[in-house]
Structure 1
Amino acid sequence: MGRSKEFDENVVLQKAMELFWKQGYEKTSLNDLVEHMGIHRRSLYDTFGDKRTLFLKTMDFYEELIRNKIQAGVLKAETAKQAIRFIFDFIIEGYEDKQWGCLTVNSATELALMDKEIKERIERTFMQTEQLLADLIRKGQQAGEISREYEPEVLAEVLHNTLHGIRVQLRISASKEKLHRIGNFFMDLLNK
């Protein structure tokens, strides 16, 4: 009979996610992971596989975590514009006040050119986000609260690109005031 695990997989996976998110894939060593996760190297291999497999699992964990947070905020919004405002505020204020940008965007800039699987995962995540944004914009246009001057898909692409820029600026410690100004400018573009 094998030994039972002495740790909660989700807790240590979140710790690994935060370390990759903060430091990036290349700068995070196995020793860093073992120390930060608080588990033995053998347990890391037995539970999560090698560093790359662990990283892929942390990407999945991160994407589900952020998607759930955004979906919850969007569902609470009374209007499409309120939902879009929530997304800006959530991105700018950070998840639990962690100002590390976005693990997905960080990974895109660090790894997408070197790893086809990671690139495909990131592209899929980006497409899902753009679809959510296009759906919100379409809803706002139908309700008459968002200008119909542009196609929802085009506005979603521009909005998504703006959100990426904000995430990168968060990584370099741009002021929240500046980032909110960017968000406010985009919200003004949506007006009729």
Structure 2
Amino acid sequence: MARHKEFEIHKVLDKAMYLFWTQGYEKTSMKELVDTMGVHRKSIYDTFGDKHALFIQALERYQFLQTQYLQSLIEKKAPVKERIRIFLANTIDNKDMPKGCLMVNSGVELGTLDSEVSTFVENGYNHTEQYLRALIIAGQTNGEIKADCDAEFLSHYFMNAWLGLRTMVKTTADQQRLNGIVDTTLRILE
């Protein structure tokens, strides 16, 4: 008779995701994963596979949570410019999360070494740009953003700004500087 799993998969996967997010792939050992997840090594291998497979599942979990957040911004009843500000500022103000972005960190650490991670990160970036483009088009539709602005270009622009912020929060605590970057970035919509 098969043993019943004594853990909830998303809870332990979230623990692995936060550990990878904080330390990166290479610096995270299987022992640390076992200790952090609170699951026996054999159970990790049986449930998630090896360390790399677990890492990919952690990236998938991160993308799922990111998609939920982006969808909530799309559905939020607020001016589009304010929703884009929230999108950018959340990177600065999110004190309960590890600094930076698991996707950015993974792309920088493994992007040229691991084609699976590189492809996953690129697809994640494209997915986020689609949400940004949808926000921009909504702003153009309601007259908040000039219709002659190229929504595709603006989505690339805001994605680049967001990725830059997600990198900068790892190296600076200067909130005034970071908020100034958000303000300057949003001026393109004026």
Write the distance in 1 (CA, Å) between the matches of 2:53 and 2:120: 13
Distance of 1:186 and 1:43 partners within structure 2: 46
Distance 1:6 1:120 in 2: 33
The residue correspondences of 1:40-79 to structure 2 (distance < 5 A) are 40-79=40-79
What secondary structure, in the 3-state scheme, does the structure 1 residue paired with 2:91 have?
A: helix
Aligned residue for 1:112?
111
Hey, what's the Cα distance between the residues in 1 that align with 2:174 and 2:47?
A: 39
- How does 1:89-168 map onto structure 2 within 5 Å? 89-94=89-94, 97-148=96-147, 150-168=149-167
SS of equivalent residue, structure 1 residue 171 = coil
Counterpart CA distance in 1 for 2:55 and 2:127 is 21
- What is the Cα-based RMSD across aligned positions, in Å? 1.5
Calculate the TM-score normalised by the size of structure 1.
Answer: 0.92
SS, match of residue 56 in structure 1: helix
Query: Identity, % of aligned pairs?
Result: 40
After the TM superposition, which parts of structure 1 deviate over 6 Å for at least 4 consecutive aligned residues?
none
Segments of structure 1 that go 5 or more residues without pairing to the other structure are none
2:21–2:105: 8 Å Cα contact kept in structure 1?
Answer: yes
Q: TM-score when scaled to structure 2?
A: 0.93
Q: Which amino acid aligns with 2:24?
A: G
Map of 1:187 onto structure 2: 186
Quick one: which amino acid aligns to residue 129 of structure 1? T
Whether contact under 8 Å (1:99, 1:173) holds in the other structure is no
Letter aligned with residue 123 of structure 1: E
Q: Post-superposition shift, 1:186?
A: 1.4
Deviation at 1:178, TM superposition (A): 1.8
Aligned mates of 1:156, 1:100 — CA distance in 2: 23
Partner residue of 1:16? 16
- Report the CA distance between 1:174 and its aligned residue: 3.4
* Pair 1:176–1:66, CA change in 2 (3 A): farther
Per-residue CA distance 1:149-169 (angstroms, 9 max, x = gap): 531111111110000000001
The alpha-carbon deviation at position 73 of structure 1 amounts to 3.0
Gaps of 5+ in 2: none
Give the distance between the partners of 2:49 and 2:20, measured in 1 at CA.
Answer: 16
- Whole-angstrom CA distance in 1 between matches of 2:3 and 2:71: 38
- Partners of 1:98 and 1:155 in 2: CA distance: 27
Deviations 1:85-110 (A, max 9, x none): 2211222222x622420000110101
CA distance in 1, matches of 2:56, 2:188: 37
Structure 1 residue 121, shift from structure 2 partner: 1.1
